[in-house]
Amino acid sequence: MYTRSSLLVALASLASLGASQKCKLQFDGRVPTGFAAAKFDAENGIFNPSNVVGKGLKLSEVVKTPAVNGSLMAANGCDSSTPKPAPLEVTINDQSIFEPSATNVQVGFRRAELLIASNTGTDASTTGVKTLHFSVMKDAARPLNLTHEYQLVFLEDAAFSTNQFVLKTGAIMGGDAAADPDTLQLFGNVNSQPLQTLFSTKFTEGVFHNFAVTNDFDKKTTQVFYSQGTAALKEQTKALANDNSGQGQFHFGVLKKGLGGNGDPKQGTQEADIDEGIIYGGIFMEDSSTGCVSLSA
Ligand SMILES: *[C@@H]1O[C@H](CO)[C@@H](O)[C@H](O)[C@H]1NC(C)=O
Ligand SMILES: *[C@@H]1O[C@H](CO)[C@@H](O)[C@H](O)[C@H]1NC(C)=O
């Protein structure tokens, strides 16, 4: 339940806006229509041009701009004179072997992820109360292999010791073996026992799955909102206790874990000749310290 004051704040901010943004933005990961792929390889003020991508690959080679309509929040925060931000697809192939250092060649994973340019790991996106928005959609032409576990969106702490929350799909290691792998599952801090499933839903194809995840980094809580297509987001949980301390960076992409590798970046089997991807829309973060959370575009 919203408190009366936060509801009034939310209504006031709705009323003041019209077509422009509803809440103060912390960062914006929406790219304009026509944003050339090559721009991903140089400083562009939206995404980090260097990470996370396989050694020898450039982001422009793995990020596509598919011809699908924008997600719920594609245009939120943009006035009508601005082109609607284009969806992005992050893809992996056999070369998607990340090598952050010569002694850390991640042959057990195939991965590519976008990081927000301003999200250094110690910036304000992981302090106070912030709501992360993103939408995910399958690409029928580049299906995932649900025998594997995938991480799609996650916050990795600045010490690289945990994910404070993570959206997974596929056959989740340590999960219920009878569970349908074709499910989106949002987990709390993966180092906490027992592991907390914050929210899950069937990963239906042909539609955007819209998420808003509010993290109160002072109270150490996480709250989930969700909808499909252009429907307004609906509250799915209250603010649940979740250890989201440790700051860090938000990742948006495809991280495919090796079969039998127990989550070790250097272990597990990966079949060859893969071409897999996930479509993203409406990535941005708003400041929810006043209770402001945008639920519709
Ligand atoms: C995009 O949306 C428009 C208007 O709602 C619709 O006519 C069109 O078919 C959609 N295009 C795609 C690729 O879904
Ligand atoms: C899916 O992954 C499994 C395990 O790595 C592999 O045996 C199978 O061939 C893969 N399927 C496809 C369609 O690539």
Q: Which domains does the chain have, with CATH numbers?
A: 26-287 (2.60.120.1160)
Verify cis geometry, omega within 30 degrees of 0, for the bond prior to 52: yes
**Which stretch of DSSP H or E encloses residue 212?**
strand 209-216
Q: Cα of 294 to ligand 1 centre, how many Å?
A: 23
Q: Cα of 69 to ligand 1 centre, how many Å?
A: 6
Q: Any idea what the Cα angle at residue 41 is, between residues 284 and 110, rounded to 5°?
A: 80
Atom of ligand 2 nearest to the CA of 146: 1
The pLDDT tens digits of the residues spanning 200-241 come to: 999 999 999 999 999 999 999 999 999 999 999 999 999 999
CA distance 213 to 234: 11
pLDDT computed for residue 77 by the predictor: 64
3-state class of 113 per DSSP?
Answer: strand
Cα 189 off chain centre by: 15
pLDDT computed for residue 290 by the predictor: 95
The pTM score is 0.91
In contact, 58 and 96? CB cutoff 8 Å: no
CA distance 3 to 169: 34
Atom of ligand 2 nearest to the CA of 271: 5
77: alpha, beta or left? (left if phi > 0; alpha if psi -120 to 50): left
Task: Check residues 127 and 34 and name the one with the higher pLDDT.
Answer: 127
104 lines ligand 2 (CB under 6 A): no
